[in-house]
Amino acid sequence: MISAKFCEEINPKITQEFVNYIDKMAENGSYRVSVIIGDKNIPIDVYSTVFPPKSNYSISSKNVFKALNKLDDLEVADIGCGSGIETIVALMAGAKHVDAGDINPQAVDCSKHNVKINGMETKVDVFLSDLFLNFPKKKYDLIIANLPIVNYDAGNSLVNQALYDGGFKIHKRLFEEVKEFLTENGIITFSHANLQSGKTENPDYDFQILEKLIDEYGYAIVERVETEELGYKWINYKIKLKK
Please name the residues in contact with 27: beta carbons below 8 A apart, sequence gap of 6 or more. none
Ranges of beta strands (E only) in the chain are: 31-37, 40-46, 75-79, 97-102, 124-128, 140-145, 182-193, 219-229, 232-241
pLDDT score at 58: 45
d(CA 227, CA 215): 22
Q: Could you list the mean pLDDT of each consecutive 10-residue stretch along the chain, which spans 243 residues?
A: 50 78 76 82 90 56 58 92 92 93 95 97 96 96 91 78 85 96 94 90 93 97 90 92 92
Q: What is the pLDDT of residue 66?
A: 60
d(CA 92, CA 83): 16
- Residue 32 CA to residue 44 CA, distance in Å, equals 6
Q: How far apart are CA 206 and CA 224, in angstroms?
A: 14
Inter-residue contact 94 to 70 (CB < 8 Å): yes
DSSP code of 27? Answer: T
Question: What is the structure's pLDDT at 68?
Answer: 65
Closest CA to 232 of 81, 49, 71, 13: 13
Cβ within 8 Å of residue 117, ≥6 positions away: 43, 45
CATH code of the domain in which 14 resides: 3.40.50.150
For residue 231, what are the domain limits? 4-241
The reported pTM is 0.88
Question: In sequence order, which residues have a C-beta less than 8 Å from that of residue 191 and are 6 or more positions away?
Answer: 59, 60, 61, 63, 64, 149, 234, 235, 236, 237
Domain count, the chain: 1
